[in-house]
Structure 1
Amino acid sequence: MNRPPHPDWSGWHDLPQQHYLIEPRCLAGGGDLRHITEHLRASGWKDRSRAAGPVVFDHPDRGLRVGFDPAPPGRWTITGQASGHQPPWEAKFTARTPVEIIAGLTDALTQPPSAHAPNVWAPLDAQGWTTRSGQHVTATSPDRNAFVQFHQPSPGQAHWWIGARNEHGRAWDAELSPTTPLYLVQALTTALADPRPVMRPRGMFAPSDRIRTTSVSLRPSELGAWQQARINSARAATWARNAWATARPRSPRPSTAARVPAGHATGRR
């Protein structure tokens, strides 16, 4: 008796799935936390998270921390301890802040600062944002959906206030202390103003008349390859920095041998 061939199940787990490219990215919703955490892990940060508790990653020298508390309403908190002339600083993001925007700041934490003087407003100007000066300095996106403000409610008090709004109201907010290093604020505004769309699975973004969606069909393996490329890039950059630090020539230590005054040569006996 001839039996039908056994069905091949090998490709069933890799069937195409529907995703959407969302524009503008500021209204795409929170996204996958691993976009941030796996990059930190690949960059040598230590995972201090507890099961069913907040997500916590520490820089190897413990001077920097990135955390996400999932308890409602949910919040990202990123802190830097005082170091040298740099005072302590803090940045907080509500849960619906797109991870790609937060990653602008967290990715910058894994890299050495640029030698160029930072300009927070330059990335916004380059994308046509409108800036108004006064007691507060405020930049607004061309579509009026997002803003960046250096907010100074009274003398001696100030903070960075960043956020997005849609027709339903507040989408997300971020608040940064005025001591936050400006190169990190610039990295954040660069990610915020980036015109490229971000991807979300079906059902994982809030409906809004202000977003534009493009349906794409992706296999899990394709999505995984893209995510792995980001991780591999972080690992390679970390390895290169560590290799350079190890190979960097060190200044010779002062000799501990007793100095012999000129004209008093010594010889072996």
Structure 2
Amino acid sequence: MKRTRWPGRPAGEQPEQHYLIEPRALAGGGDVRHVFAFLLASGWQDIAKKGGPVAVRSPDRTVRVSYDPYAQPGGWTIHSAAQGQQAPWQAVLGPQTPVEIVAALTDSLVQPRSAHAPDAWAPLAGQRWKTGFDDRHFTATSPDGAAWLHFRQGQTGDAVWWSGARDQQGNGWSAQFTATIPLHLVAAFATALASPEPVMRPRGRVPHSTRIRTTSVSVLPWQLRAWQQARVTAARAATWARTWPAHPPSAAPRRARSPFARARARR
């Protein structure tokens, strides 16, 4: 009997072993293209310099997202200049922050913003995180104790958002956001941090931790490409819809140039 091949599936591709990892906060960094490909497809500009960190800038030049795999400890830096009534803010995340959690924050930079400030703690409470409050600090900790989100205030009134995850061997990551970061970004970050959904990592990129649970899955390369392309296509479509009045009817969205032609993606 002749075997039917699904459209878009190259002949001869062999399945590759991947792992679904829970909890996602301890899954390791992942492929940084998950973050940058979406921003580029949303109209952001590649501003990386040769030999430097991967970096992109928003169309209005007010926000910069970079990932430095060369510096120690390296990781993510997101910086925004002041915009109207919004004060400047910054977020710094360690290199082992799962890209799915980073992307929740960076995706929100290009998505419509609600007129009402969200409750950044609600996603955590919805997943049964343990919360606590004293005179200056509000804390939330995951049920297994591996991940946390704190809002900490110093004696002089300065404040910072502090988050992260750590296993029993001390492996993990941490992140800090200035107190001026818009709350909808913290809420998006918290939602991804607390999500019970596992994330996928290829064989050889699974952290050595007794705190994680893994499920082996076989994935064809064309499936991975299709999932990645679906995310990029959605970003382009949303960007096109937002900017439609600025385009003549005959215009079409241009393909964003990727910085990965010269900067290798690393965990």
The normalised TM-score by structure 2 is 0.86
Structure having greater relative contact order (Cα 8 Å, sep ≥ 6): 2
Q: Deviations over 1:193-247 (max 9, x none)?
A: 1111000000112111111101010111011000100001111111111115669
Question: What amino acid is the match of 1:143?
Answer: D
Once the 2 structures are TM-superposed, how far is the Cα of residue 59 of structure 1 from its aligned partner?
A: 0.2
Name the % identity: 56
**Cα 1:157–1:223 shift into 2, 3 Å:** same
Match of 2:182 in 1: 181
SS of residue in 1 equivalent to 2:108? helix
**Cα 1:136–1:170 shift into 2, 3 Å:** farther
**Cα 1:47–1:201 shift into 2, 3 Å:** same
Match of 2:131 in 1: 131
Q: Deviations over 1:27-74 (max 9, x none)?
A: 000000000000000000001112332011000110011001111321
Once the 2 structures are TM-superposed, how far is the Cα of residue 115 of structure 1 from its aligned partner?
A: 2.7
> For residues 236-255 of structure 1, what are the structure 2 equivalents within 5 Å?
236-243=237-244
Spell out structure 1 runs of 4+ moving beyond 4 A: 244-247
**Cα 1:170–1:215 shift into 2, 3 Å:** closer
Question: What amino acid is the match of 1:90?
Answer: Q
SS of residue in 2 equivalent to 1:184? helix
| Alpha-carbon distance in structure 2 between the residues aligned to 1:119 and 1:244 | 33
Q: Which shows bigger deviation, 150-159 or 31-40?
A: 150-159
Match of 2:172 in 1: 171
Unmatched 5+ residue regions in structure 2?
Answer: 1-9, 249-267
Instruction: Judge conservation of contact 2:17–2:216 (CA < 8 Å) in 1.
Output: yes
Question: What amino acid is the match of 1:85?
Answer: Q
> For residues 194-213 of structure 1, what are the structure 2 equivalents within 5 Å?
194-213=195-214
Question: What amino acid is the match of 1:92?
Answer: V
Match of 2:59 in 1: 60
Question: What amino acid is the match of 2:84?
Answer: G
Q: Deviations over 1:65-97 (max 9, x none)?
A: 100111132120001100111110000001000
- Give me the CA root mean square deviation: 1.4
**Cα 1:129–1:47 shift into 2, 3 Å:** same
Match of 1:18 in 2: 17
SS of residue in 2 equivalent to 1:154? coil
Unmatched 5+ residue regions in structure 1?
Answer: 1-9, 248-269
> For residues 99-138 of structure 1, what are the structure 2 equivalents within 5 Å?
99-134=99-134, 135-138=136-139
Match of 1:147 in 2: 148
Question: What amino acid is the match of 1:176?
Answer: F
Instruction: Judge conservation of contact 2:19–2:206 (CA < 8 Å) in 1.
Output: no
> For residues 34-53 of structure 1, what are the structure 2 equivalents within 5 Å?
34-53=33-52
Question: What amino acid is the match of 1:70?
Answer: P
Once the 2 structures are TM-superposed, how far is the Cα of residue 155 of structure 1 from its aligned partner?
A: 2.7
| Alpha-carbon distance in structure 2 between the residues aligned to 1:245 and 1:96 | 39
1:29 is aligned to 2:22: no
Question: What amino acid is the match of 2:192?
Answer: A
| Alpha-carbon distance in structure 2 between the residues aligned to 1:32 and 1:97 | 11
1:69 is aligned to 2:102: no
Paired positions, count: 237
Match of 2:259 in 1: none
Computing the radius of gyration from Cα coordinates, the structure with the larger value is 1
SS of residue in 2 equivalent to 1:50? coil
| Alpha-carbon distance in structure 1 between the residues aligned to 2:124 and 2:89 | 23
